[in-house]
Amino acid sequence: MRITFWGAARTVTGSQHLLDTGQGQYLLDCGQYQGRRREAQERNRNFPFNPSGVSAVVISHAHIDHTGNLPLLVKNGFTGPIYASAGTADLCRPMLADAAAIQEHDAAYLNKRARRRKSLGNGESDTAVEPLFTTEDAEQTFPHFRATPMDTPVDIGAGLTYTSFEAGHILGSTCVLLTATNGSGAVRLAYSGDVGRAGLPIIKDPERMPPADYLIVESTYGDRLHKPMEAVQSKLEDIVNRTWKRGGRVIVPAFAVGRTQQLVLMLHELMNAKRIPALPIFVDSPLAVSITEVFRKHTELFDEEALRFVSAGQDPFGFSRLRYIRDTAQSKALNDLHGPFMVISASGMCEAGRILHHLRNNIGNPRNTVLITGYQAEHTLGRKILERWPEVPIFGDMMPLRADVQKINELSGHADQSELLAWMEPMTPTLRRVFLVHGENTSQKALAEAIRARYKLDVVIPDRGDSFDLT
């Protein structure tokens, strides 16, 4: 058995790990790479392997950096099944459809802008921007999904079984164990996907994993420790109240899956307790609206906190001052509102979608606050805002950043160093080697040193394209 790392190798996004059992090829996640635009386009459009040669895909969870290249995989010849939990399969339908719509919309916007500039003598290129994939491409992907139960071995190929376990990262997220058997025995490969944290709102805590011979583990926050979860609500309360007193707006780039629902639940609780004013709150994301409906469908995946709302006959994701927006005209109308309010919009790394328009219209006002609530990959607009660049590029124009920038790391769906070490501990007695993926250089080096020091294990940080035999 051989594993080749084609994505999230010494970087955070674009997870793609190709497992060759000798009897078939199996792709662990098929994520979209996010970063510098030209490099991202090149990586995402061109697979380093033959999609038609892949027997099946195993998806850990629905985030675009783990699923966003599935439409291109199918478009380029993949015909096999895509295995995922029921929650992940349900989330992927609106997420991939929305990603396609954003690709088409942004390509049309940029082409229109380029034509206008050329007509004014400010542009030269006649090359049209093509969307990475279309709505039709996304639709062709959905029939390939096979919803599978957690904690249940599923045969996915000759001598290969797949078992998924609760990862505690987002709704339906899983860690997986692949077991390959042949005449000489069995090899067990564990893949973390993205490991979550105990105590996150809405979803259950990460589940204990069974023994494994090899482990592929994420390292997003491998060099740091999160602050206690208890501080999150107080921090959110303070940010909202300070912006309210300035008469400003709170602009929140938030992942439509997980982070938006967590924020809505906490704002619901804060408003019920009268700890924040009854300001208008808008979830301006057609995707987040659809995703919230999937959350409502899968209450079996809720933790006790969220289930208390359900048991009391309440909607944890709905209250009087909250309004969900799908319509484009209603989204644009938010720019004309007066007085303090909050907008939660996707994408979480500020790379596409309606959040770009809200940032363009609000980051120049020092009364406003941009609240960052999740990880921002290198070279993304979100990272530039978090680093407080004096000017940031939005739709090709440099915009002055004068708004207050705040962050809440405690809501991160990624385990920190101590949590990752604790999560992997049950597997360590049998592990032969650990591969670190999905992390920046400093995070990976720090986690590798910590694993070696505590567990005396062989730890490898693979480069893109590196292959290893698993025997």
Cβ count near 102 (within 10 Å)? 22
Identity at 76, one-letter amino acid code: N
Distance CA 11, CA 219 (A): 10
| pLDDT for the residue 118 | 79
The helix (run of H) or strand (run of E) holding residue 217 is strand 214-218
pLDDT(226) > 90: no
- Residue 119: pLDDT band with limits 50, 70, 90: confident
Nearest to 435 by CA among 197, 213, 226: 213
DSSP three-state, residue 213: coil
What average pLDDT does the segment 152-173 reach? 96
For residue 176, the cross-strand partners are 164, 191
Instruction: Locate the DSSP E strands across 336-432.
Output: 342-345, 369-372, 391-394, 397-400, 404-407
Instruction: Kindly report, residue by residue over 306-337, the tens digit of the pLDDT.
Output: 999 899 998 999 888 899 998 989 999 998 89
- Residue 301: pLDDT band with limits 50, 70, 90: very high
| pLDDT for the residue 286 | 86
Instruction: Locate the DSSP E strands across 74-153.
Output: 82-85, 145-148
Tokens (6 digits) for 58: 């195993």
Instruction: Kindly report, residue by residue over 329-356, the tens digit of the pLDDT.
Output: 999 999 889 889 999 998 888 988 899 9
Give the pTM.
Answer: 0.85
357, 331 in Cβ contact below 8 A?
yes
What average pLDDT does the segment 428-453 reach? 97
pLDDT(183) > 80: no
- Residue 107: pLDDT band with limits 50, 70, 90: confident
Location of structure tokens 């030209």:
38
What average pLDDT does the segment 1-9 reach? 96
174, 163 in Cβ contact below 8 A?
no
What average pLDDT does the segment 14-19 reach? 97
Instruction: Kindly report, residue by residue over 238-283, the tens digit of the pLDDT.
Output: 999 999 999 999 999 998 888 899 999 999 999 999 999 999 999 9
What average pLDDT does the segment 283-293 reach? 91
Q: Angle CA(79)–CA(85)–CA(88) in degrees, nearest 5? A: 85
Backbone angles phi, psi at 196, to 5 degrees: -90, -160
pLDDT(121) > 80: no
What average pLDDT does the segment 346-374 reach? 92
Q: 231-411: which CATH topology?
A: Rossmann fold (3.40.50)
| pLDDT for the residue 124 | 62
Instruction: Kindly report, residue by residue over 124-153, the tens digit of the pLDDT.
Output: 666 778 889 999 999 999 999 999 999 999
83, 156 in Cβ contact below 8 A?
yes
Tokens (6 digits) for 46: 């061109």
Where on the phi/psi map is residue 351: left (φ > 0), alpha (ψ -120 to 50), or beta?
Answer: alpha
2-224+413-469 classified as CATH 3.40.50.2020: no
Identity at 401, one-letter amino acid code: L
Instruction: Kindly report, residue by residue over 389-412, the tens digit of the pLDDT.
Output: 999 999 889 999 999 999 997 888
206, 306 in Cβ contact below 8 A?
no
pLDDT(123) > 80: no
| pLDDT for the residue 414 | 92
Omega into 347 within 30° of 0, i.e. cis? yes
> pLDDT averaged over the chain?
93
Distance CA 12, CA 15 (A): 8
So where are the chain's domains?
2-224+413-469, 231-411
Nearest to 352 by CA among 67, 136, 100: 100
436, 466 in Cβ contact below 8 A?
no
pLDDT(450) > 90: yes
